[in-house]
């Protein structure tokens, strides 16, 4: 058996020589915990586990986590969507934003509340695909235009990202100004 010998190939005229380039691994994202209803971070002593998964501030939301660049603040309206595209959590601010209380919204499908703002273009359908991808835990945060399902002429920006501990999609809602 002969050792491997590369085929003799003529160089392509004008072609730049191939070079390897070093790809640095990206830094792991820092995670921030927040309440799924009031968005406050838990007050945990360093080195100790939280006493409960339920928020100590409002007593309503479960503690979730997302990367620090997308985690909501108490001033942000946001919703959490599970892999079945159902609402799992609605923040206090999102209740006012969407005009529905959390108990009436949880368990209902996302399309009952928000739809793509520009349905005439094929990319508009990607809103639901982005949410599904984020809920599966595999997407970079993206911002898309949405509108309330039953209202025309009103548009919001929705920042779609992944949150957890079990994978879900986090939608931060912002008015278009």
pLDDT digits (tens, 9 = 90+) for 106-146: 999 999 998 888 766 565 558 888 899 889 887 788 888 88
CA dihedral 39, 44, 46, 47 (to 10 degrees): -110
pLDDT surpasses 60 at 5: no
Contact 150, 130 (CB under 8 A): no
Q: Where are the domains of the chain?
A: 69-175
CB burial of residue 137 (10 Å; 0-12, 13-18, 19+): middle
What class has domain 69-175?
A: alpha beta
pLDDT band with cut points at 50, 70 and 90 for residue 77: very high
pLDDT band with cut points at 50, 70 and 90 for residue 11: low
DSSP 91: -
Phi, psi of 108 (to 5 degrees): -90, 155
């Amino acid at each position: 058996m002969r050792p491997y010998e590369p085929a003799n190939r003529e160089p392509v005229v004008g072609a730049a020589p191939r070079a390897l380039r070093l790809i640095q691994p990206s830094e792991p994202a820092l995670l921030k915990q927040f309440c799924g209803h009031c968005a406050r971070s838990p007050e945990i002593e360093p080195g100790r586990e939280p006493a409960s998964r339920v928020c100590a501030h409002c007593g309503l939301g479960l503690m979730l986590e997302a990367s620090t660049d997308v985690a909501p603040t108490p001033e942000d309206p946001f919703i959490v969507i599970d892999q079945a595209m159902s609402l799992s959590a609605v923040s206090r601010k999102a209740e006012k934003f969407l005009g529905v209380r959390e108990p009436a919204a949880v368990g209902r499908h996302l399309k009952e509340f928000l739809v793509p703002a520009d349905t005439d273009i094929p990319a508009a359908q990607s809103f639901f695909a982005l949410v599904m991808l984020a809920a599966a835990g595999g997407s970079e945060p993206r911002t898309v235009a949405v509108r309330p399902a039953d209202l025309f002429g009103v548009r919001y920006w929705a920042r779609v990202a992944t949150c957890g501990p079990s994978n879900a999609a986090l939608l931060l809602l912002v008015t278009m100004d």
